[in-house]
């Protein structure tokens, strides 16, 4: 799966899990992909990337549509109305 940059952080989706790339340490740096830990915000799954919270549906949509700006105000909705079903096949942009 391709990766994208969201809020100055590399992010990818692999096997249904969203990962973020971290560089940890001083002189002996460790670079590794870590699963993003999600939270719930008003029933919507969200994750924080570099201090900014994004809904999972917006992160998934951005990964599959890298030219789209995650910061814009367009709504991303679910075809089946299930906010926990964040597969790309279930997401669409409201223009």
What pLDDT, on a 0 to 100 scale, did the predictor assign at position 40?
94
pLDDT in tens, 25-56: 777 788 899 999 899 999 899 999 999 999 99
Identify the CA nearest to 62 among candidates 17, 29, 13.
13
Q: How confident is the model at residue 70 (pLDDT cuts 50, 70, 90)?
A: very high
Largest alpha-carbon pair distance within the chain? 49
What pLDDT, on a 0 to 100 scale, did the predictor assign at position 25?
77
What pLDDT, on a 0 to 100 scale, did the predictor assign at position 30?
84
Q: Is the pTM of this model over 0.85?
A: yes
Tokens of residue 2, six digits: 């391709």
Asked whether 47 and 37 are in contact (CB, 8 A), the reply is: yes
Asked whether 55 and 45 are in contact (CB, 8 A), the reply is: yes
């Amino acid at each position: 799966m391709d990766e994208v940059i969201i809020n100055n952080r590399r992010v990818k989706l692999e096997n249904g899990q969203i990962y973020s790339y971290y560089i940890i340490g001083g002189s002996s740096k460790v670079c590794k992909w870590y699963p993003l830990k999600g939270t719930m915000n008003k029933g919507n799954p969200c994750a924080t990337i570099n201090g900014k919270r994004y809904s999972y549906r917006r992160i998934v949509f951005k990964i599959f549509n890298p030219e789209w700006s995650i910061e814009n105000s367009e709504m991303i909705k679910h075809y089946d109305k299930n906010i926990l079903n964040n597969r790309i096949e279930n997401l669409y942009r409201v223009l």
